[in-house]
Amino acid sequence: MEKLYILCAHLNEIPDCKKDQIILKNSPLCKAGSSGLSTAPHLHFETHFAKNWDLYFEARSIDPIIVFYYLLNQQ
């Protein structure tokens, strides 16, 4: 069974979360930051489906908007 994995980059601080941790609804995920040659704080937010994150190269990327729409419309 595949799981949804979220990848956040360019963070202001590293969130206190563990691999395969379940994130509860309305929980903050991270704080946007600025790294590398960026000129302003921003966030790279990716969503992927995979059986195992260690097999990232086999993960299926999915548009985060689709994920947000699905989650917001759950009863």
Per-residue pLDDT tens for 18-74?
A: 777 787 877 777 778 887 788 888 888 888 888 887 777 778 899 999 888 887 887
| 7-24 confidence digits (pLDDT tens) | 888 877 777 777 777 878
d(CA 40, CA 9): 14
Please report, as a single letter, which amino acid is at residue 32.
Answer: A
d(CA 54, CA 75): 32
Question: pTM higher than 0.85 for the full model?
Answer: no
From residue 50, how far is each of 55, 62, 71 by CA, in Å? Answer: 7, 11, 18
